[in-house]
Structure 1
Amino acid sequence: MENKEGLQKQLKTRHITMISLGGIIGAGLFVGAGSVINTTGPSAVVSYAFAGLLVVFLMRMLGEMASRNPDSGSFATYAREAIGPWAGYTIGWLYWFFWVIVIAIEAVAGGAIIHGWIPVVPIWAWSLILTILLTLTNIFSVKSFGEFEYWFALIKIIAITLFMGIGLAIILHLFPGIKSPGTSNLIERGGFTPNGAGSIFLGVATVIFAYFGAEIAAIAAGESENPKKTIKIAIKSVVWRILIFYIGSVAILVTLLPWNSTTALKSPYVTMLEMVHIPGAGLIMNIVVLTSVLSCLNSALYTNSRMIFSLAKRGDAPKSFLKLSKRGVPVRAVWVGTIVAFIAAIFNFVSPDKLFLFLVNASGAIALIVYLAIAISHIIIRKRLEAHGEKPELKMWLFPGLSYATILSIVVILGSMAFIESMRSQLFLTLLLTSLVILSYFLFKKRNEAAARNRYEEKPSSTI
């Protein structure tokens, strides 16, 4: 059975639920949490909580729009509807570019992990092998993508649950012979905010990007058996997912480990496993991180292809990307993302400090641009619905005040990036890229209009 776009409705509710869960739990949580804690101190949990709250609001807004109109283009489609065609075009292409870079980054990361086990094969070869294997998974059918992502996400959930369980057991004195730190790491090393309250905001600007990926569920819902029901379930579960997996795990880490110990926080979960004398802690962590990398790579290939498929459907990308296989998969859309991503990955090996770094930085603030588009689109569409007496099935809380507060928060975070040295280049390069994409829309629009006029003017003469 095909939907109106020709894509197959093969994803089940369990797939979408796990895709949304997997979108939250990335390698950034397992690897990146330590550096945030080291910079912010115990108050890093507040940074994660505030950023998580913003994402909860944004996903609620997205869920309101998606429950009304499930679409593979998701927020790009809603931006087109609410703000204008140029906005849908811009958000769609920026999002596609972002995931192309993510594919490249994750492929290199996965290749490096496996190279550590089997050094005979170079990293670039492992990167290519992983990318091709998951591309074939995506090409086979959307159901195969869903099944792989289901198991990848399940492994990540089991891993983070076990890590949290071990951490809580240590804190509660449940391991004989292992001393609990109590509250010493929270209050005895310079206090809860050892680097000042400003570090909490710096942490928010850093960690909000770790949540990016939760929106994939809204894209995948368009290929589910019951899109409206599925998206409601996925969006409503965002709150407890963020509460448990991010805020909960970070709270355990800041309690368990000294915030100013660079050694302990280099790989905090490995440190935790070593505390209870679990053998092969480093290997276990590498397997978990590799699973997270493969999950992200798998989701990136899927999301990337569906976005360019949606762009092609609306005339914003070549029509050739609309071609579907017998199983309803946009094969060309999948392959173009794979090829462009691997070219980007090659730059990591030939010019890591220039070309590849430029691409990574150019994609750095795209998450915030997408979040901003979601919030603005939501306000416009909701007001239009209310003007016509319509009521959404899944409502954003405290509308419109909370929606405006979310927009203000995102704008402040974007603006603050200009004053954070490590983020400044990301902001300016992303803004440059965004400007170029907007410019390309109007240039292509003029060219297409000129071509249409020429065809119209030539038609009478050809019939004489």
Structure 2
Amino acid sequence: MNNEETGFARTLSQRHVAMIALGGTIGTGLFLGAGSSIHKAGPAILLVYIITGLFVFAMMRALGELLVSDDTKPVFIDFMTQYLGEKAGFVLGWTYWLGWIVIAMTELTAIGTYMQYWFPDMPVWPWELAFLVVLYFVNTIAVKIFGETEFWFAMIKIIAIVAMIVTGLILALGHIKTDLGVTKFSTLWSHGLVANHGHNILSTFQMAFFAFLGVEFVGITAAETKDPLKTIPKAVNSIVVRILIFYIGALSAIMIIQPWTNYQAGQSPFVDVFSGIGISSAAAVINFVVLTAAASAINSAFFTTGRMLYSLVGEKSRFKRLNKNAIPKSAINLSTLIIGLAVVVNYLFPTDAFTLVSSMASAAFLIIYMALMLTHLRYRKQNQGQDLPSFRLPLAPFSNYLTMAFLALIFVILLVTPATTWTTVLAALWMVALAVIAYFKFQK
């Protein structure tokens, strides 16, 4: 049955939304990037993830409160337009759309690289084209098919994480000896709790934060969710628990099985651990897991960019149309063509240029998240004295200001870190350019 206000079909179940919310927080940042985080922070990385997770949870509670206050809005950016104004909505909306486009192009490039693990003599572009076509059809046939695909993509990642946690527990409880040594719980802290006397601890906050990028994706699914007033709060509330279980559990197991001093940046700790306990196919298994993580990101990008474009264009635009299955197919078509440029670029040129642009998009997400907390503040102020939803952000407005301060700190860390200084500046310039366009577009 279609939603009379938006035209979208409410076919995503609680099972789909819960896994979409969880899948959004689990990506290559954990499977490939955790080695760098552990190397820089040691066991203190657990505290970094807990603190970051709590602020992410606050942001998601603010988003959830907005969504249940009006479940007819197709995308959460519509709330920003309502409470921050048309100009802000324009800048943030197109930034979010462009950000997801770039992320999809980067992940498509990564897919070609992952496939070369098994087929080293083949060029990357045929694999990228194949994944692009398959995921395009997943997103244009039916929303329920998208939901099922995301469910199983998330399930693959969860199985890998649970396997790591269970392996760590069994080895530690049995004090089992492997090629990595005798596994004991004390291995977690026996080599110290903080790496390099804490000199690199601040830089790991931005690494932890980027691991959670995409968690807000549940805010794009609200208009196509069955019983959103019940489903969205449950999905949001479950996120912090799952963050603790999966991130904290997996990282703890990794540092229990092998001393944290042995991990290096650029190496997957999952491969190190599974190889060290005698699983010869560990590298292939983790390569498959990160391949599904990349495919999941592209799948989410198709869904997001299609809905965002549908929301951003005028009522008379050809992209403001839904097909017979209540899917914005024209909008997805345009996004697909732009994302598909990655295939052409990878056919003609080296792919290194995407790294810079991807980092720029990630920095822009920080500004969007801060704007989300500001939107919630404006929403509360405008609805003061009225009945608010029972699902609310605790301790607001104090939690709003604290979360925005934390996000601002991450932005400053990016700005002063040599490797990310220019990408952060470019992200700011990107938004300034959009602000200039918005100024002339919405001039009275």
TM-score interval for Structure 1 and Structure 2 normalised by the shorter chain = over 0.9
Query: Where do 5+ consecutive residues of structure 2 fail to align?
Result: none
1:33: Cα distance to partner? 0.8
Distance 2:363 2:266 in 1: 26
Contact 2:177–2:183 (Cα < 8 Å) also in 1: no
Quickly say closer, same or farther: Cα 1:358–1:272, change in 2 above 3 A: closer
1:403 partner letter:
N
Using the TM superposition, give the Cα deviation of residue 244 of structure 1 relative to its aligned residue in structure 2, in angstroms: 0.8
TM superposition shift of 1:118: 2.7
The correspondence of residues 391-406 of structure 1 with structure 2, limited to 5 A, is 391-406=388-403
Q: Distance in 2 between matches of 1:235 and 1:263?
A: 34
Within a 5 Å distance, the mapping from 1:54-453 to structure 2 comes to 54-71=55-72, 73-173=74-174, 175=176, 179-188=182-191, 191-262=192-263, 266-312=267-313, 319-344=317-342, 346-347=344-345, 350=348, 352=350, 355-386=353-384, 388-446=385-443
Alpha-carbon deviation of 1:390?
2.1
Is 1:18 aligned with 2:19?
Answer: yes
Unaligned runs of 5+ in 1: 450-464
* TM-superposition CA deviations, 1:120-148 (whole Å, max 9, x none): 54101111110111011101111111111
Q: Are the structure 2 counterparts of residues 40 and 350 from structure 1 closer, same or farther at C-alpha, using a change threshold of 3 Å?
A: farther
The structural deviation recorded for 1:354 is 7.2
Q: CA deviation at 1:26?
A: 1.2
Q: Work out whether residues 265 and 271 of structure 1, in 8 Å CA contact, stay in contact via their aligned partners in 2.
A: no
8 Å CA contact retained: 1:159, 1:288:
yes
Residue 401 to residue 275, structure 1, CA distance change in 2 (3 Å): same
Letter in 1 for 2:406: S
| Displacement after TM superposition at 1:119 (Å) | 3.8
* Structure 1 residue 365 displacement after superposition: 0.4
Identity %: 32
- Is the Cα contact below 8 Å between 1:71 and 1:219 reproduced in 2? no
Counterpart of 1:50 in structure 2 is 51
* TM-score (ref. length: structure 2): 0.93
Whole-angstrom distance in 2 between the partners of 1:383 and 1:216: 25
**Could you tell me how far apart the structure 1 residues matched to 2:49 and 2:350 are?**
30
TM-score, normalization: structure 1? 0.89
Across the aligned residues of Structure 1 and Structure 2, the Cα RMSD in angstroms comes to: 2.1
Question: How many residues get paired?
Answer: 441
Deviations 1:336-386 (A, max 9, x none): 111111214544565557753442243130221111011101111012222
Q: Deviations over 1:375-429 (max 9, x none)?
A: 101111012222x422222111111111111111111221222211112112101
Contact residue 36 and residue 264 of structure 2 kept, 8 A: no
AA of the residue aligned to 1:204 = F
Looking at structure 2, the residues matched to 399 and 52 of structure 1 have their Cα atoms a distance apart, in angstroms, of: 17
Larger radius of gyration: 1
Letter in 1 for 2:183: S
Deviation string 1:133-178 (CA, Å, 9 cap, x unpaired) is 1011101111111111111112211221111111222232364666
Partner Cα distance (2:356, 2:153) in 1 = 30
- Once the two structures are TM-superposed, the CA of residue 181 in structure 1 deviates from its matched residue by 4.5
SS in 2 for 1:319: coil
